[in-house]
Amino acid sequence: MHREKKHRLASALAAAADVPVTVFADLPEVVLSGGREVRILRHRGVTEYTPERIVVGGKELEVEILGSGLHLCSLGPESLAASGRVEEIRLHRREEGK
């Protein structure tokens, strides 16, 4: 199914169920708390981990956390938490079909 059609369907389902669209679209949900903690739901694993950079995989998006003193506080199959001085969060869209 084409990506745009998937997102329209996910948006419609989310609106009908009154839940965030990220749930139906299987996208990572990123929560930043005061520049000191990041929580990510629906991730696909950590692909890079240093005190200055953590990269977290997702189905369609990769989340890059940049800062200093970064470390993982918790890591589970569907969620993770990292803390430290968070200076920037970048989202990188994956190529279609990868």
* DSSP code at position 15: H
* CA distance between the termini of the chain: 14
**Number of neighbours of residue 28 by Cβ within 10 angstroms:** 22
Please choose, from the candidates 8, 3, 38, 4, the residue with its C-alpha nearest in 3D space to the C-alpha of residue 21.
Answer: 8
pLDDT in tens, 4-62: 665 565 555 545 555 555 555 577 889 999 999 999 998 999 999 999 999 999 888 89
Return the higher-pLDDT residue of 18 and 86.
86
* 6 part of a folded domain: no
The span from the CA of 38 to the CA of 74, in Å, is 11
Q: Which CATH number is 33's domain given?
A: 2.60.40.2000
Which structural domain, as residue segments, surrounds residue 48? 26-93
Q: Is there a domain that residue 10 lies in? A: no
- Residue 42 has phi, psi (to 5 degrees) of 60, 50
